[in-house]
A and B are shown apart, each in its own frame.
Chain A
């Protein structure tokens, strides 16, 4: 068996990571050396991430120093190498716009071939509501149909998005999903399904003496409202926390608190579970860690900048060594 490498044109910039994975899995010399870090996530993790210049509001494109830096899995690797004094390899399968299912799929692509070499699986959690189109490699994000998306987040791109969604037959589907987000059972169902995937990967890793760390970098439901398309608002963080109390993932963790070691910034308190996302951290502490925090080059890009990536890596690292 060998690791597959996509020939799809839209995968072009990601095949380097799979080539590396294949090379590591075929390496006869180091075949039992457990020194591979597999990273999963979206644009917060994607090693090929670049600021989408067409979306930002600056008078000109931002200079390279605010759109090119090491991503957090690479920074984490540096911390690990410094401590352990030996080499690790990062296979970063993060991809912008992707959701939990996509990350899981990436994991299934490499695990059978690399499992003997994987020391860490690092997962930067993303929006639970994203999914991949059934028949083509297209990542669907129902959140892009929210009321303020085309005015605030991607001004001037509304028609282009709408046309693409219509062409792919997903507009009605996305709107139906967004309309259901005020139903407790629908939100719980989505959370249960995604957290089941995460639990499964956690179990595989621990059974394989692999470290597993999951950190929800963005909120599981993107926020915002969907009144224009017949819906209401996304579940708030408070609502999400409340629903989490009843789902198997949380109930199991409550019975086995040792599992908290796998979940960065997941706390049990205030009669329940509390998630601190990267975004809420900066809101609370006033740290300037995002691209949009740069005052010289005005923009609306909420992704972590160089300092944000270091901050994420530090949080994952601190959690790891605290629980090690």
Chain B
């Protein structure tokens, strides 16, 4: 079997990671367990650059030092690991802007059968649970693109409206967003995602590897959908409440050792509390996002260079704190 490499134009900038994966899988000389595979969205994507069309900088495009190109957190994590272990690791970063959990999982499926003997770490930067891939077209569908604020900004249509119309997903998106008021729907979506997460955790640990998941953005993007007949996204508090009944949490409560795999997931205050990267910056006032730059006003909420270091540090601290437990 050989690891597949896409020849689709939209995958062009991502094939390099798959080429490296194939090379590592086929390396007859070196079979050491020293590969780190990373998954996530734009917060993880090694090719992430600020989308100028979305920023509100009044001085034109952001300068290169603010628009991306810095080391992403999986790479920084690798540096820390190499420094400690005094040996070489390889990072395969499959993060992709705009993608959801399904895309990460699919990338995992692509590489696991070929590389499992070499994978030491699976690092997962959790993203929005409500993004999915079109059934037959290479397009990430983001339900948040139809939230009220997006519709206001785009003359009543929403981001990516033309593409979404062409591929028949507008009604589907609006229907899902409307259903978010129903606790069963939110629980259902969470359950499906967390089930796959548990599956990967089990595969990784059964294989003698490490697994770390950190929800970098909230599982439901927030905002309201009144303009398309819905109400609001489930709040943070509601999500925590719903989580209590899910098999994922019930299992964790029965086996607290598994908390070692979930960064910043603590079980206390009569429930589960997740601290996302964004709320961390909110609470501590740290300046870790691109929009924190005052010289070049913009509204890009992605982590900047310091934000990436902060994420890597949180992963690392969690890992070393739980390593020997």
In the complex, 24 of the A-B residue pairs with CB atoms within 8 angstroms, ordered by the A residue number, are A1-B202, A1-B255, A1-B258, A108-B195, A111-B199, A115-B206, A134-B132, A136-B185, A169-B171, A170-B171, A172-B169, A173-B135, A173-B168, A173-B172, A180-B137, A189-B136, A190-B135, A193-B106, A196-B4, A199-B113, A200-B109, A203-B1, A203-B112, A255-B2
Q: In this complex, what residue of A is CB-closest to B132?
A: A134
One of A109, A129, A168, A186 near B175 (C-beta < 8 A): A168
Does A177 sit at the interface, judged by CB under 8 A? yes
B113 CB contacts on chain A under 8 angstroms: 199-200, 203-204
One of B137, B166, B172, B191 near A169 (C-beta < 8 A): B172
Does A322 sit at the interface, judged by CB under 8 A? no
B222 CB contacts on chain A under 8 angstroms: none
Q: Are B168 and A172 in contact (CB under 8 A)?
A: yes
Q: Which B176-208 residues have a C-beta within 8 angstroms of A?
A: 176, 179-180, 185, 188-189, 191-192, 195-196, 198-199, 202-203, 206
Q: Are B136 and A186 in contact (CB under 8 A)?
A: yes
Nearest 4 A-B pairs (CB), nearest first?
A176-B168, A169-B175, A112-B202, A203-B113
Interface 0/1 of A245-279, CB less than 8 Å to B: 00010011001100100000000000000000000
One of B176, B199, B255 near A135 (C-beta < 8 A): B176
Number of contacting residues on B, CB 8 A?
A: 45
Q: Are B189 and A134 in contact (CB under 8 A)?
A: yes
A84 CB contacts on chain B under 8 angstroms: none
A207 CB contacts on chain B under 8 angstroms: 116
CB distance from B131 to the nearest CB of A (A): 10
One of B135, B175, B255 near A131 (C-beta < 8 A): B135
**Interface residue tally on A, bucketed by range:** 35 or more
Does A175 sit at the interface, judged by CB under 8 A? yes
Given A131-B135, A134-B132, A134-B189, check contact A105 B195 (CB 8 Å). yes
Does A299 sit at the interface, judged by CB under 8 A? no
CB distance from A295 to the nearest CB of B (A): 40
A252 CB contacts on chain B under 8 angstroms: 1-2
Does A4 sit at the interface, judged by CB under 8 A? yes
A172 CB contacts on chain B under 8 angstroms: 168-172
Does A2 sit at the interface, judged by CB under 8 A? yes
Interface 0/1 of B103-137, CB less than 8 Å to A: 00010011011001000000000000010100111
Q: Give CA–CA (A251, B5) in the complex, Å.
A: 12
Q: Which B262-284 residues have a C-beta within 8 angstroms of A?
A: none
B174 CB contacts on chain A under 8 angstroms: 169
Q: Give CA–CA (A200, B203) in the complex, Å.
A: 12
Q: Are B2 and A105 in contact (CB under 8 A)?
A: no
Q: Give CA–CA (A4, B248) in the complex, Å.
A: 9
Q: Are B195 and A4 in contact (CB under 8 A)?
A: yes
Interface 0/1 of A180-198, CB less than 8 Å to B: 1100001101101100110
In this complex, which of B112, B116, B172, B191 has the most chain A Cβ atoms within 10 angstroms of its Cβ? Answer: B172
B136 CB contacts on chain A under 8 angstroms: 177, 180-181, 186-187, 189-190
Q: In this complex, what residue of B is CB-closest to A111?
A: B199
B130 CB contacts on chain A under 8 angstroms: 134
In this complex, which of B2, B4, B136, B195 has the most chain A Cβ atoms within 10 angstroms of its Cβ? Answer: B136
Interface 0/1 of A102-136, CB less than 8 Å to B: 00010011011001000000000000010100111
A63 CB contacts on chain B under 8 angstroms: none
One of A4, A109, A177, A199 near B135 (C-beta < 8 A): A177
Does A309 sit at the interface, judged by CB under 8 A? no
Q: Give CA–CA (A180, B174) in the complex, Å.
A: 22
Q: Which residues of B contact A (CB under 8 A)?
A: 1-2, 4, 106, 109-110, 112-113, 116, 130, 132, 135-138, 166-176, 179-180, 185, 188-189, 191-192, 195-196, 198-199, 202-203, 206, 247, 251, 254-255, 258
One of B110, B171, B176 near A196 (C-beta < 8 A): B110
Q: In this complex, what residue of A is CB-closest to B202?
A: A112
CB distance from B140 to the nearest CB of A (A): 13
Q: Are A200 and B112 in contact (CB under 8 A)?
A: yes
Interface 0/1 of A145-171, CB less than 8 Å to B: 000000000000000000000001111
CB distance from B6 to the nearest CB of A (A): 9
Q: Are B135 and A256 in contact (CB under 8 A)?
A: no
Q: Give CA–CA (A181, B116) in the complex, Å.
A: 35
Given A173-B172, A176-B167, A186-B136, check contact A109 B188 (CB 8 Å). no
Q: Give CA–CA (A177, B116) in the complex, Å.
A: 34
A176 CB contacts on chain B under 8 angstroms: 166-169
Q: Give CA–CA (A153, B188) in the complex, Å.
A: 31
Beyond known contacts A134-B132, A135-B176, A200-B113: 16 more, CB 8 A cutoff: A134-B189, A135-B179, A135-B189, A168-B175, A169-B173, A169-B176, A172-B169, A173-B169, A174-B168, A176-B169, A187-B136, A190-B136, A193-B106, A200-B112, A203-B113, A259-B1
Q: Are A108 and B137 in contact (CB under 8 A)?
A: no
Does A137 sit at the interface, judged by CB under 8 A? yes
Q: In this complex, what residue of A is CB-closest to B108?
A: A200
CB distance from A70 to the nearest CB of B (A): 30
Q: Give CA–CA (A191, B247) in the complex, Å.
A: 32
Given A1-B198, A189-B136, A196-B106, check contact A135 B171 (CB 8 Å). no
CB distance from B245 to the nearest CB of A (A): 10
A174 CB contacts on chain B under 8 angstroms: 168
Q: In this complex, what residue of A is CB-closest to B168?
A: A176
Q: Give CA–CA (A54, B188) in the complex, Å.
A: 30
Given A169-B174, A196-B109, A200-B113, check contact A135 B195 (CB 8 Å). no
CB distance from B183 to the nearest CB of A (A): 12
Q: Give CA–CA (A4, B245) in the complex, Å.
A: 12
Given A105-B192, A186-B137, A196-B106, check contact A173 B171 (CB 8 Å). yes
Q: Give CA–CA (A68, B251) in the complex, Å.
A: 38
B258 CB contacts on chain A under 8 angstroms: 1
Q: Give CA–CA (A192, B198) in the complex, Å.
A: 25
